[in-house]
Each structure stands twice: as C-alpha cells, then as structure tokens.
Structure 1
Amino acid sequence: MSTRLTEPTARAFELPDDALDGVGSRPFGVYVHVPFCATRCGYCDFNTYTAGELGTSASPQSWLEGLRRELDAGAAMLGRQGRAVPVAQTVFVGGGTPSLLGGEGLAQVLGAVRSSFGLAPGAEVTTESNPESTSPEFFATILDAGYTRVSLGMQSAAPHVLRVLDRTHTPGRAVAAAREARAAGFAHVNLDMIYGTPGERDEDLDATLDAVLSADVDHVSAYSLIVEDGTALARKVRRGELPAPDDDVLAARYERIDARLTDAGLHWYEVSNWAKDEVDSASGATGDSRCRHNIGYWDGGDWWGAGPGAHSHVGGVRWWNVKHPARYADELASGVLPVAGSEVLTAEDRHVERVMLVLRLRSGLPVADLRADEVAAAERVVADGVLDRVGDRLVLTARGRLLADGVIRDILG
C-alpha cells in the first residue's frame, strides 16, 4: 500500500483539520493497551512486558498516570476549536493481561475514559482477561464499574497443546471463569481459541469445542496459529523442534469449528468470529452478541488507541505510540503525546483497506464500492465458487472463507 508517511516528534504531532471533519458522525471507540503480562506466551509477538523485563523502569501506576494524561490530551485534540468531543460508543481494554490490574485497577481505567471522552448510553465496554487472574469477586467488581463484556483467553482444553503455546492457565480454568462471569451478570462473554498448534489432534480440537460450548458463552473467536518472527515458537520451528502449521490441517480444523459452532447457534459474522443471536422470551427482541468495537475497526470507524504501542485512526490519519512503557509515561509526564509515527491514508489506501476488511464480514461488500475492473474480477471469483453475489453485495462462501486473502487479492488485482 502506498501511503504518505510522516515521522513526527511527539511535540509536533497534531491532527489536521480535515481529519477532524465528521468526527462524531462515524463510530468512535477507545482502545486501551495494558502492556503487562505475568509470563510471555511462546507464540505472542504483542507489545507486552513481564515484571522481570521492566524492572523498576515502569509500573502499573506510572502507566495509569500516563493513560489518564493521554486520554485527556486526546479529548482536547479531537474537541479543539469548539468541536464536540466524540463520546465513546465502545471501549476495549486489551493487552497484555488487563486482568492483572485487578478489578479496582480496571475500574480506574474505565474511570479515565469516562472523565475524558465519556461513555455513550448503552456503550459496549470489553476487557480481555487471563482466566487465572480472575475470580467471582473480580467479575462482580468490573461489572459494577461499567464493563459489559468479557473476553477470556482459552486457546485449548488440551494440556499438551497449552504447553506448546507456553500458556500458564490450567485447562479447565477458562470454562470456569466464563461461568463465573455469567453468574456475576455478564450477558456477553467471549472465549478465544487457537487451532492448528503442532501436536494438536482432532480429538483435542473436539475436546476444546466441547468445553467452549459447555460454558454457554455468546461469542467465540477462533484463530489459526501463526508463527510470528521473533517469538519463542518461531525459534523452535526454525530449529526443527516443532513442525510448522500445515495449511490443509488448518483448513480442516476451521471447517470443523464452523460446523460445531453453527450447530450450537453461534453464527459467523467475520471470518474468525462467531456470535449467538439471543431472543428475549418475554419481549421477543433479538440481541446482538457481535463485538461492536471490532466491527468499528472493520467498518472504517474512528478510534483513539491509548497506551504503549497502541494504534489510532481518525478521519484517514493513523498514528501509533512509542512501545516501551517507561518512555510512554515519561513523554506524557513532560506534557507531550507519545507518538512514534503516523501516516495519512490516500484515497487508494482507504479503498484497498475497505475491500480487505469488509469482505471478511458476513454482511458482505457492496458491489458499488468496487471499480469496474474489480467488479469484473469479482464476477470471475463468483464463478470459481468462493464468492456469492447476494443482491447488491458480495459475500464469501464457506470455501471462500478458507481462501479469503486470495479472494481479496484476486479482486484488487
């Protein structure tokens, strides 16, 4: 993708006026990145740090102080020159391991969002959590603080698969945590799965799916294992200690997951995400269990990403923060935004990104969003059986979901 790149100093970063036009009329969310983990999982390449890696250079308290400053500065920037500050329709606290902050720490995080951007009525507020750092008291505290949704990292129910992934939680803890969250009053609970780990067998996947469905969650995310450069897992694969994931196995596992979840009433709405449509027995009203925050990303909305290494997007401008928590806190303490770099998306960039993201959704891509040559390419893809034309939209078929990246490349040329 061609973009006009800028690498501003933190003091120089400012959103142009044209990027602010329309702020508030588009979906707006706040993402908060918590960079702390108790241990590092072997497959993870996220911007996270253990206590041993940080030493005394940063702490949850210095991070929280920096977070408050960044959110206040963000609200001031988006509301400059008399503009109305956009109110957060969704909040997503990710990491890292947000639950390491404890219930009270997460309540303070949400308090910082409230005091800066504010929360819209009915806002969706999600936090990721490691099952081992949760409890009934934890869920009760964050529910009372205003969180509406919990996402738990399960990955697998098989002990030997968790060992390969360097996951520290016990196999049954994720399901127990999901049940505790539901018992506390959370209507929306997600479990994350990873499939295709070296050594995973069909029966291991079935056991994981059995466990997921027994937890009575309304959302499941399932991701194929990706061996990221620089991770402990990548080093083991490179040394021949573990085999690389097999594409045919990954495809078969995806089909197995989709069939089981669909039979249980969880329907795909994005290639890697399934949600349950819930009907209130008294009113007949249908609830929506999809993750609204992530839909905001896929639909090209605006969001402020706060925290070390977090990415933001407003009005076609994208920027990202410095990665290290100590530098992040220091720059904010000195009165500047901790921006490491930014890019202004061209019209072509935005077109390509829209096709790439929206085509992954079950709602599909409007044909009108494509140029004439891309419509012709899409018609050829339809003939190949990986894409359907449903009214005025293009929707991936079941086979097309397995080949989504290739379908997108074929359309974009």
Structure 2
Amino acid sequence: MASALPLGEPAPLDGLLPPSAADGAHGRAFGVYVHVPFCRVRCGYCDFNTYTASELRGARQVDYADHAIGEIRMSRRVLEASEVIQRPAETVFFGGGTPTLLPAADLVRMLDAVRSEFGLTAGAEVTTEANPDSVGPDDLARLAEGGFTRVSFGMQSAVPHVLAALDRTHDPARVPLVVRWARDAGLDVSLDLIYGTPGESLGDWRRSVEAAIAERPDHLSAYALIVEDGTKLARQIRRGELAEPSDDLEADMYELADELLGAAGYEWYEVSNWATAAGHRSRHNLGYWRGDDWWGVGPGAHSHVGGVRWWNAKHPAAYADRVTAGHSPAVGREVLDASTRETERVLLATRLRDGLSVASLGSGGRRVVAGLIADDLVDARAALAGALMLTNRGRLFADTVVRRLLEDSVVE
C-alpha cells in the first residue's frame, strides 16, 4: 500500500488558503500536476498512490476525468477567493499510476480544463507518463493534437529478467515502437530507467542504458531502486527470495550511466536526470526542485502555493465523494515556516547542476563549501564562479552534501 499522508492541520472544506499564500506566491512560476491513480497491475516495488481495478471500492475509472475537471474548476475559485495572483500554467504533468490507461480524449479534456481555468503560457510544456504497452500510435497522435508536447515512457530496463523482477508487463521490443510513434506525432520523448534491481548485473544495466541511448530520447532519467516497506519487493527480500540491492553496485551503475550518457551527448542537470539540451530538461520537475508553485489534482495529490502545502484524500472513492459534494478534496495542509522553506531549498537545489548559489549560504555556508571542495564533493571552479555544483563523486553522495550544509547552519 502507498505510504501514509503527512501530518498537518485539517484543510477547510472550502479549500481556502491562509493570507500568507497570496504574499508568498508573487514572482513564482506556476504548474499543474494531474494524478491518474490507475494501474493494470501493481509493480512489486511501487509505493505510489495507485490502484488496480479490484482496489477501487466503487470508484469508477470512466468517471475520473469528470471528477478531476471538477477539482480544476474549483481550484481557480479557491485561488481567486484566497486573493492569490492568477498565473497561467507554464507546465502541466499527468502522472500516476498510468495516465494513458484513460482514453486520450479524457486526458485532452482535463488539459482543456486547465487551459480554460488558468490559461497556458506560450510554449507550455505538457507531459504525460505512459507505459510502453499502454499507448498506440493513434493515442499519441490524439494527445499531440490536443496540446500535449512530451511523453515520458516507463522503460525501466531492456532486459527481460529485470523487467520480470520489477513486475513490468511490456516487451522490451515495444520501446522502439512507441518512441517512433511519439516522434511521428511530434512529441518530445523521455525514457525512465531503474537500476539496482535484484538480479541485475552491471552488464544488464549497460545493455539497458545503451538500448535507451539508441532511441535518442530528448531526456533520460535513471533512478536507483528503493525498497519501500510494505511492498511485495520488500517482502520478497525479507523472505530471502531476492537479494537486497548493493550500494556499491548501484554506485557503479550510476557512474556507468553517466559515462555512457555523457559520451552520447547528454548532460546531467539534476542528479538523476540528463537531457540533450537545456530546452529538453523537464521544466515541470525543475519547478519542484526550485520551489515554484503548483496545484496537484487527483487522489493523494500534493499542492504548494506561496509556502502553503496541502494534500488530497488518497483513495479515488473518497476523492470522488468530496468533489461530487462540492467540497475541496484537500484533507490536510501545513504552512511552511522560514526555516522549513530554507531547509527544503537547500535539500532540493543542491541536486541541480545550477541550482544553488554559494552567496545564498552566508559566510558559514562558504566555509562548509570549502570543506566539500577539499573532499571532492563540490566543483571548485563552479564554486569560485558562485554556484554550488556537485562533482561526479558528489552526486553519489548528494545526501551527505546536503546533511553537511544543513548541519552547519549555513543560512544566516
């Protein structure tokens, strides 16, 4: 099952935000995230807020777009009543779950609602996630016609036994097909990979990265497998059926991916993300890492506006009930104090190639940076130019870098 919602104060039924949100929203970019919580099968490693058909408890997939559109319409009223400055969406991201289990027409209807209620900036980035076996050429063409600009395919691996260990259902041969169909439709393409799967060798991983590069995606993500409590994978490891991922092997896999991607013309811009050019970076995810504002639509979705964070009811049935009754689906929220916001800024921006200014850390922070340079965790030339940029080694120990920055009270 998905992890529990965070603690916080109850959210009001009307969804109104505290006055601080209006002040904090000035000057921030705005995006929209739409969570589509449906999956055909639950992957053994997955801890996301997703549901198979047998887990819906009366909620209906066919009704989902209408409920999400109801929240989108409500969101504009909430922001207006809360006196938050209205901004068009610079990015829209449909994630899940598997958004493309819904008909393309439903995804386009939800995007149309975002366009109607908020507007989209010129050149807005509009992405949907998709599994290689959840879309066909007609679906992708319809999405592109409806305003989508980008698709992110959950490739995960090119090796059949690795996909089987992850409970992924697609054939590796499907990936070149869907990439070609997306290109034919005029969509930018991102491929997602996972490394450190039990039973995956360094040779297996090389095969997957090389297969991904061969498709020449605009963007590629590579994330280490995390064994989450309560998942099927965690139970298999606890019973000794699968081996726990090796930290040393995962480090070797990361370094290999970075080497292969760099040689192929990809540049890292976030610890786990590479792109062929700055214009192909995931602008939506950059908004998260830079602390921008976004409205999260759907069951369990999180939102952030002006230093106020809130989250929706998790289950699709509970979410549908609240929206149908005319209530906000938000069930909890927290107002971030200055210390928490600064901690999150350092935590997230440190992962970016160009995300954290050394000057913003104060004199104490600059002393810490000197030590990080000495330990080959931070690039010396970039630091002299005013930017905290992780070295190759620093990316392997990004959590250590963040901990040292925060422990030494870098903010003055």
Fold similarity call, TM over 0.5: yes
Tell me the CA shift for residue 102 of structure 1: 2.3
Give the secondary structure class of the aligned counterpart of 2:171: coil
Give the secondary structure class of the aligned counterpart of 1:226: coil
Q: For the residues of structure 1 that align with 2:45 and 2:240, how far apart are their CA atoms?
A: 16
| 1:330-369 equivalent positions in 2, closer than 5 A | 330-369=321-360
- Deviation track 1:212-251 (CA, whole Å, cap 9, x = no partner) reads 1121211000000110111100000111111111000000
Question: Is the Cα contact below 8 Å between 1:104 and 1:141 reproduced in 2?
Answer: yes
Match of 1:111 in 2: 112
Tell me the CA shift for residue 82 of structure 1: 6.5
Q: For the residues of structure 2 that align with 1:310 and 1:36, how far apart are their CA atoms?
A: 14
Match of 1:283 in 2: none
Q: For the residues of structure 2 that align with 1:346 and 1:84, how far apart are their CA atoms?
A: 21
- Deviation track 1:294-320 (CA, whole Å, cap 9, x = no partner) reads 011111100000000000000111000
Give the secondary structure class of the aligned counterpart of 1:250: helix
Q: Which residue, out of 9, 13, 16, partners 1:14? A: 16
Matched, 1:215 2:206: no
* Runs of at least 5 residues in structure 1 that lack an aligned partner in the other structure: 278-286
Match of 1:308 in 2: 299
Matched, 1:260 2:260: yes
| 1:237-386 equivalent positions in 2, closer than 5 A | 237-277=237-277, 288-386=279-377
**Deviation larger for 169-178 or 125-134:** 169-178
Tell me the CA shift for residue 9 of structure 1: 4.8
| 1:56-75 equivalent positions in 2, closer than 5 A | 57-75=58-76
Identity %: 53
Q: Which amino acid aligns with 1:34?
A: V
Question: Is the Cα contact below 8 Å between 1:79 and 1:86 reproduced in 2?
Answer: no
Q: For the residues of structure 2 that align with 1:407 and 1:132, how far apart are their CA atoms?
A: 39
Q: For the residues of structure 1 that align with 2:15 and 2:363, how far apart are their CA atoms?
A: 38
Tell me the CA shift for residue 18 of structure 1: 2.2
Match of 1:409 in 2: 403
Q: For the residues of structure 2 that align with 1:167 and 1:365, how far apart are their CA atoms?
A: 37
Q: Which residue, out of 45, 50, 53, partners 1:51? A: 53
Tell me the CA shift for residue 11 of structure 1: 1.3
Q: Which amino acid aligns with 1:329?
A: A
Give the secondary structure class of the aligned counterpart of 1:170: coil
Give the secondary structure class of the aligned counterpart of 2:198: coil
Give the secondary structure class of the aligned counterpart of 1:132: coil
Q: For the residues of structure 1 that align with 2:8 and 2:237, how far apart are their CA atoms?
A: 36
- Deviation track 1:248-305 (CA, whole Å, cap 9, x = no partner) reads 000000000001011111110000000002xxxxxxxxx6100000011111100000
Tell me the CA shift for residue 60 of structure 1: 2.3
Question: Is the Cα contact below 8 Å between 1:24 and 1:87 reproduced in 2?
Answer: no
* Runs of at least 5 residues in structure 2 that lack an aligned partner in the other structure: 1-5, 408-412
Question: Is the Cα contact below 8 Å between 1:71 and 1:117 reproduced in 2?
Answer: no
Q: Which amino acid aligns with 1:354?
A: R
Q: How many residues align?
A: 399
Tell me the CA shift for residue 340 of structure 1: 1.7
Tell me the CA shift for residue 34 of structure 1: 0.1
**Deviation larger for 61-70 or 119-128:** 61-70
Q: Which amino acid aligns with 1:225?
A: L
**Deviation larger for 309-318 or 371-380:** 371-380
Question: Is the Cα contact below 8 Å between 1:127 and 1:149 reproduced in 2?
Answer: yes
Tell me the CA shift for residue 6 of structure 1: 3.9
**Deviation larger for 14-23 or 192-201:** 14-23
**Deviation larger for 365-374 or 355-364:** 365-374
Q: For the residues of structure 2 that align with 1:193 and 1:82, how far apart are their CA atoms?
A: 41
Tell me the CA shift for residue 83 of structure 1: 5.7
Match of 1:281 in 2: none
Question: Is the Cα contact below 8 Å between 1:27 and 1:89 reproduced in 2?
Answer: yes
Give the secondary structure class of the aligned counterpart of 2:162: helix
TM-score by structure 2 length? 0.94
Q: Which amino acid aligns with 1:407?
A: V
